[in-house]
Amino acid sequence: MALTGRHLIVGAQTWNPWVKTTDASLGYTGILYKVLNTIANKLNFTYSVISPADRQWGRELPNGSFSGMIGMCQRKEVDLALGPFALSWSRSKAADFSSVFHFDDYGILTPRPEREADLSGFAKPLSWQVWVSLAIAVIISLVVGLIINYITDHVIKVFLHPNEVTSLEMIEISWITKVMLAEAVSPLPKKNTGRIYILSWMIIGFIIHAAYSSILISLLAVPKVPIPVDSLEDLLAYGKYPWVMIKGSHLHAVMQETDSQIYKKTLDRAILLTDYVPIEKREPNAYLTVVITIKQVVILR
């Protein structure tokens, strides 16, 4: 074989679970390191591992050169580099890539959301449409009550003898408040108009009380914690914690080269790290990284 007896220089950077640094000898382990050992045994070559001085994976610089391990390959400082590397057009011009062996997506790793104090929580059991409809019903009912009172006080008494029996009586506006607050109504209406009026609101109040109390109890028993961030737009708008991205990564390069305003705003406010160790420490930041890394952190929790 052409590689028999040769000694190769290999670039590597820690990235769980692909390449991991051992604490004892500062050597390496991980999936790709095992693959490298297998290839070395098959092709009978030895190797030594070095890390890039800038601790980056590789992004294109304004002068056309590359940083990180891609730059080491471009400058022939190493014979090969362990990834995983995301393949892009700019990177493919600087180094040759192996066949694709893993597909992954990018995600947002955020701190575990906590239930926050909500002064409007008392209104949450019912939707805003219900509250608006109830307010409209109250207003209409008050108007109807005032009309009935006006007719009773100004029209009926004018055309009828004061001692003549009528089915109309003065409507107490406070009846609505007492019924909705489940308070005793006193004095009780004696005429049909008052009875129908208060009976209507007793039915409405019963339905509202039953629905409100049952939903409120369920919310208190099983509190719902909202997920505030589900996209880059949410991350930009939320603003309660900073976000972190690996410097020189494929994602960094994409956001640097794209014309997307969302990407540009995300990159402008991002904290750029040189490695992935802080992610393992789970600092209270949001992390833009690949899904396999997010799964590793979730498992460690």
Question: Is a pLDDT exceeding 90 seen at residue 72?
Answer: yes
Q: What is the residue type of 269?
A: R
Mean pLDDT over all residues of the chain? Answer: 79
Cβ neighbours of residue 79 closer than 8 Å, sequence gap 6 or more: 8, 9, 10, 47
Q: Which among 94, 128, 167, 221 is positioned nearest to 85, based on CA atoms?
A: 94
Residue boundaries of the structural domains of the chain: 7-103, 121-221, 232-300
Integer Cα distance of 171 and 34 in angstroms: 86
261-268 and 250-257 helices, crossing angle to 10°: 120
* Cα–Cα separations (whole angstroms), residue 31 to 28, 36, 47: 10, 9, 17
Q: According to the model, what pLDDT value does residue 278 have? A: 46
Quote the pTM value: 0.60
Token reading at 2? 């052409």
Mean pLDDT over 250-278 rounds to 81
Instruction: Give the model confidence (pLDDT) of 20-49 as tens digits.
Output: 776 555 567 888 888 888 888 888 889 988
Mean pLDDT over 208-217 rounds to 83
State the sign of the Cα–Cα–Cα–Cα dihedral 36, 38, 39, 43. Answer: positive
Token reading at 151? 């007719």
Integer Cα distance of 29 and 198 in angstroms: 78
Q: Given pLDDT bands bounded at 50, 70 and 90, which one contains residue 298?
A: low
Q: Which CATH class is domain 7-103?
A: alpha beta
Integer Cα distance of 10 and 3 in angstroms: 14
Integer Cα distance of 246 and 55 in angstroms: 10
Question: Is a pLDDT exceeding 60 seen at residue 174?
Answer: yes
Q: How are beta strands 20-21 and 80-81 bridged, if at all?
A: unpaired
Judge whether 251 and 288 are in contact, CB under 8 Å.
yes
User: Phi-psi category of 252—alpha, beta or left, where left has phi over 0 and alpha has psi -120 to 50?
Assistant: alpha
* Cα–Cα separations (whole angstroms), residue 162 to 156, 166, 260: 9, 9, 80
Between 267 and 3, residue with greater pLDDT: 267
